[in-house]
Amino acid sequence: MRMVFKQLVRETRVFFGIGFFSLLSLGAESSGVFLGGGFQYSYASGAFKQDTVMQYTIPGIPALITKTKNPYNGNLFGGDIQMGYKLFFGQKKRFGLRFYGFFSGQAGYANSVESSQTDPKFVVTNQPGTNLFYGGGMDMLYNFYDSNERSFGVFAGVVVGWSSWSMGKDKQCRWASIHKRGGGSSGCITMNAFFNEQVLINHKFYPGLKSSFSPAFVQLLVNLGFRFNFTKHQGLEVGVRIPTINNLYYVDRGTYAMGRMVKIKIDSALILRRDIAAFVNYVINF
């Protein structure tokens, strides 16, 4: 009789232990496919810097040095979408990882920030611009609270991809082409077309200048925020994405001659970047 009682107690403990851990797994967020998308705002900035040295070949005449800097800033509005797989670990499944593909598109306007070093030729007002980003990311997940239907936690990770800028026509027609292939002026053109044309002009008329136009550039985003699942299959995420790499949109560097008496050395660069992006996403968990 005593042996039967001990066996019954042992089996009861095993039964309740299995039931307890089953309840833990039921209460935790599940691994699986997810799809998210929503609104995204970015603060963007940039600057066109140019250092020019005019050196005369006649001895005794000092060089003329000019430094200009044209800062820009603006606001971009748009959305993003991401899809991937999340995987939770451990007995309580509070820690996890997720892997996903990502795309965002935003548009807005930039304006010059004038100073004593501003070059009037590069002052813009309501310069339209669009930024597209596409790539892939990985985030670490941690849930502070986890129940059968709801969970609340944080995420932190990185997204690596390609950032592309499409800069349009400004309202002052600032980017009117000076030299059109074949002669004459091409009239009002986009900022992208203007700097692409400048590279062609430099290669043709100023072989001493090394120029490049790169509207698309590799980018690394730091991804941080909070996540809240209000049902098993629906949730919200709020966070920020911080770009870490400047987009070297246009560069020209080198020396060229103006006649026999003057040499001009130029070091120019136009940098664009999104400084920070804030987003709110609706998430579906499959």
pLDDT of residue 163: 97
Q: Are residues 194 and 128 in the same domain?
A: yes
pLDDT band at 207 (very low <50, low <70, confident <90, very high): confident
Give the mean model confidence (pLDDT) for residues 164-193.
75
> How many structural domains is the chain composed of?
2
Least confident range from 52-61, 162-171, 217-226: namely 52-61
Query: 3 or 53, which is more confident?
Result: 53
pLDDT band at 245 (very low <50, low <70, confident <90, very high): very high
Q: Are residues 102 and 160 in the same domain?
A: yes
The reported pTM is 0.81
Q: Are residues 6 and 139 in the same domain?
A: no
pLDDT of residue 104: 97
Tell me how long the chain is.
286
Strands (E), the chain: 32-56, 64-89, 95-112, 127-146, 151-167, 209-213, 216-229, 234-243, 247-258, 262-285
pLDDT band at 141 (very low <50, low <70, confident <90, very high): very high
Query: 20 or 172, which is more confident?
Result: 172
Containing structural domain, residue 232: 31-285
Q: Could you identify the residue written with the tokens 């809240």?
A: 228
CA angle 167, 171, 173 (to 5 degrees): 80
Q: Read off the DSSP letter of residue 94.
A: -
Q: Are residues 56 and 1 in the same domain?
A: no
Bridge partners, residue 17, by sequence: none
| Single-letter amino acid, residue 97 | L
Q: Are residues 7 and 140 in the same domain?
A: no
CB-based contact 222:245 (threshold 8 Å) = no
Q: Are residues 75 and 6 in the same domain?
A: no
Q: Are residues 51 and 160 in the same domain?
A: yes
- State pLDDT tens for residues 38-50: 999 999 999 999 9
Q: Are residues 24 and 35 in the same domain?
A: no
Q: Are residues 10 and 60 in the same domain?
A: no
Query: 175 or 79, which is more confident?
Result: 79
Query: 213 or 179, which is more confident?
Result: 213
Pairing of strands 95-112, 209-213: unpaired
pLDDT of residue 90: 83
Q: Are residues 208 and 76 in the same domain?
A: yes
pLDDT of residue 63: 81
Q: Are residues 163 and 229 in the same domain?
A: yes
Q: Are residues 36 and 24 in the same domain?
A: no
